[in-house]
Amino acid sequence: MNEQELHDAVSRLPKSIEPPRDLWPGIEARLARSGAWRRWYWVPLALAAVLVFLLIARAERSAWDVTALAGRPLIGTTRLAASGRLRVGDWLQTDDSSRALIAVGRIGQVEVRPDTRVQLVVAKANEHRLALARGTIDAKVDAVPRLFFVETPAGTAIDLGCAYTLETDSLGNGLLHVTAGEVEFQTGSHASRVLLGALMQIRPTTGPGIPYVEGAPAPFVRALIAFDFAQRGTRARAIRTVLALARPQDALSLWHVLQRVDPALRGVVYDRLAALVPPPPGVTRRAAIALESRALEGYWTKIQRIHFRMMVLRGVREIDPRTGLAKP
C-alpha cells in the first residue's frame, strides 16, 4: 500500500461510530452523584430571583448606557456630552462627525457610526432590540444566541453569538458583514444565515440576499445579486453563472440557492453543491431537494464546520474546502 492509497483509505473512515451500548445512564448517574444536576436545579430559581430584582429596578432596566466617541450625538433632542442613558423609545442620532457607543445591557456593545439613526425598542434580560432606521452599526455580542436583534426597514438581524457590521439606507437597501460567529437575517418570507467572513446584500422588498464569502470572485457575486434581486428572465441566466463559477468555499451560498430556486432547478443546484462539498452521511438527494429540514440542517452543519475551520486556521494551515481536513 502506498501513501496515496493509505490516505484514500483514511479519508473513507466513518466520522461517527455508535458506542456498543448506551452510555447515557452512566453519564446521568455521574452528574447526579457529583451534584452537577442538582446545582443546575438552582439555575431557574436564581433566574427567577434575578427577574424579581430586574422587575424592581424596572426603570433602570429599560435604559442602556451610551458614550460619545466623537462629536456630540443626539438622544432625542438632547445633545450627548460625554455619556448618558438611552431609554426604550429613545432615538440616538449621529451626524457626519459624531459617533457613539451603546452598551447592549450586559451582553455586548454597538458602535454607532456617523450619519446613523437608531432607536432602543426593547431592553429586557431575554430580549435586546434596536431599530436601525439608517446608517451603520458595528455590533459585538457575547451571549447565547437569539438575545440581540436589530430591526432594519428590510428585516431583522438576529444574533447567534457574533460580531457584525450592518448598514442600511432608509428604504432598506443594505449590507451585512459578519466578522465573528453567525447572524441570521429574517423577513416575513425567508431567512439567510451569514457565517463569519461572509457578506450579504439586503433589499427592501426581497429582504436578505444569498450570503457569499469575502473574496468571492466578482462575477460570482454579481450573478448572485442578479439572482436575488433581478427580474425572472435574468434570474435563470444568473443561476447558470452561479453554478458554473461556484467553488467549494461557496457551498454556503449554494445551500441558500437550493432553497430559493424553482423546484424544477433544485436537482441541478443540489448536484453542483454535492460535487463541491459532498453531503454528510444521512443526507439524501431526495430529502434535500424536498427541502426536508433534517437534511438541510445536516448539510448546513457540515458546511458550517468546514467554513469555521477554514476561517480559524486561515494563514496557519491549508484546509481542503471540500472536507475541512488539513491538506497534506
Contact positions vs other proteins (CB under 8 A): 1-3, 6-7, 9-10, 12-21, 23-24, 26-28, 30-31, 34, 36-37, 40-41, 43-44, 142-146, 160-162, 180-182, 281-282, 297, 301, 304-305, 308-309, 312-313, 316-317, 319, 323-326
How far apart CA 44 and CA 42 sit, in angstroms, is 6
Provide the minimum distance between the beta carbon of 306 and other proteins in the complex, in angstroms, as a whole number.
9
Provide the minimum distance between the beta carbon of 19 and other proteins in the complex, in angstroms, as a whole number.
5
How far apart CA 164 and CA 148 sit, in angstroms, is 12
Which one, 18 or 96, has the nearer CB to other proteins? 18
How far apart CA 295 and CA 300 sit, in angstroms, is 9
Provide DSSP, 202-256: EETTTEE---EETT--HHHHHHHHHHHHS-HHHHHHHHHHHHHH--GGGHHHHHH
Provide the minimum distance between the beta carbon of 290 and other proteins in the complex, in angstroms, as a whole number.
18
Provide the minimum distance between the beta carbon of 324 and other proteins in the complex, in angstroms, as a whole number.
6
Helix, strand, coil percentages (3-state) for the chain, rounded to 5, are 40, 30, 30
Which one, 10 or 59, has the nearer CB to other proteins? 10
**Residue 299: phi, psi to the nearest 5?**
-65, -45
Provide DSSP, 116-137: -EEEEEEEETTEEEEEEEEEEE
Give the chain's largest Cα–Cα span.
77
Which one, 1 or 82, has the nearer CB to other proteins? 1
Which one, 138 or 182, has the nearer CB to other proteins? 182
Which one, 230 or 325, has the nearer CB to other proteins? 325
**DSSP-based three-state secondary structure for 43:** helix
DSSP classification of residue 296: H
Which one, 60 or 318, has the nearer CB to other proteins? 318
Provide the minimum distance between the beta carbon of 124 and other proteins in the complex, in angstroms, as a whole number.
16
Provide the minimum distance between the beta carbon of 42 and other proteins in the complex, in angstroms, as a whole number.
9
Provide the minimum distance between the beta carbon of 176 and other proteins in the complex, in angstroms, as a whole number.
17
How far apart CA 207 and CA 257 sit, in angstroms, is 14
Which one, 46 or 244, has the nearer CB to other proteins? 46
Which one, 75 or 183, has the nearer CB to other proteins? 183
**Residue 234: phi, psi to the nearest 5?**
-70, -30
Provide the minimum distance between the beta carbon of 200 and other proteins in the complex, in angstroms, as a whole number.
18
Handedness of CA 220, 222, 227, 229 (dihedral sign): positive
Give 243's Cβ-side CA count (13 Å radius): 20
